Amino acid sequence: MRKFVLETPETVHKGGTDSWHLFDTASELATLARPFRHKEAANNEGRDSWSGGTFLQCVKWASAGRPDLVEASDAYMAQFESLNVLAPRARIIDDVSGAVPNIPAYLAGVPLNMRRRIKVESEVAPLIVVVDGATSGGIPADLMTRRASVLLALVRIVGAVRPVELWAGFGGGSHNVQSVGCYTFARVETSPLDVARAAFMLGHPSFTRGLAYNVAAGYEPHEYDYKWPYCGVALSPEKFKAVCAQAFPHGEVFATPGLYLTDPCVTNPVAWLKRTLTDLNVLSEEN
């Protein structure tokens, strides 16, 4: 785990501090969550409509993922198959095998005398996708998993065009220290994309409510007690992006804040996907 503290951007909260806890994997986060099982989380772990599973199930899913949740993401991706997704660049190289011979190289006795087409990884910096799974207590589990399916489709489509770095977790705060944002996130493997674990981490309620909440409450009991960052309300996409851009300065950041009932990602997911992919220069504006 990496832990660091940054000054909150003034456009978000003047005079605030951001406390970050970053984990390499969900399994690492789950291991550290065990000794910090918070009383509130334990009391709610049997309520499937709230937590989506027991604590032991959360730990299991952190390692194995939830392959059964991937199908919903496939359905969203299918709606974009006919659209003009910008393809990754390709170039022709000389190799020992290929589709077309390089006659001059062959006559000169050069071993690399065949030509083949290869995909070229984008030279642009990775798109860093940061998904905040925090919600108000009244948001049901099915709404969270619905958003996760949409976000997983987004990551899968973007990943076919450019490098993606994916982080999932939540941001919270405390009424005791009203100038602090407490951010707990774990990285999702994207080379290749671990779709089963991503489906679990991007929005299944037990990842946020069963694991991440416990870690934050255990490590930072004075900075997190189930409140929103800076003891306010859920951050806007613009403010959450500003917070994340400081913690992930090595690439372009796409940040999705905590879920709210009128979130267009769940109220009109296809339109949201199309608009977001266009903004990220993944879909052609002709679509």
Q: Would you put residue 132 in left (φ > 0), alpha (ψ -120 to 50) or beta?
A: beta
User: Nearest to residue 18, comparing CAs of 32, 37, 31, 5?
Assistant: 5
Q: How confident is the model at residue 82 (pLDDT cuts 50, 70, 90)?
A: low
Distances (CA, A) of 225 to 38, 164, 172, 229: 10, 32, 8, 10
Burial label for 281, CB within 10 Å (0-12, 13-18, 19+), is middle
Phi/psi of residue 73, nearest 5 degrees: -65, -40
Contact (Cβ atoms closer than 8 angstroms) between residue 159 and residue 133: no
Contact (Cβ atoms closer than 8 angstroms) between residue 248 and residue 95: no
Rounded Cα gap, residues 236 and 137, in angstroms: 18
What integer pLDDT is reported at residue 140 of this predicted model?
Answer: 83
The model's pLDDT over 6-36, given as tens digits with 9 standing for 90+, comes to 999 999 999 999 999 999 999 998 887 776 6
The model's pLDDT over 217-234, given as tens digits with 9 standing for 90+, comes to 776 767 677 788 998 877
Contact (Cβ atoms closer than 8 angstroms) between residue 230 and residue 13: yes
Residue 109: strand, helix, or coil: coil
Q: How confident is the model at residue 209 (pLDDT cuts 50, 70, 90)?
A: confident
Rounded Cα gap, residues 22 and 218, in angstroms: 15
Rounded Cα gap, residues 167 and 283, in angstroms: 23
User: Nearest to residue 158, comparing CAs of 117, 185, 124, 182?
Assistant: 124
β-strand 127-132 against 180-188: which pairing, if any?
unpaired
- What average pLDDT is seen over the chain? 84
The model's pLDDT over 59-80, given as tens digits with 9 standing for 90+, comes to 889 989 999 989 999 988 887 7
DSSP assignment letter at 195: H
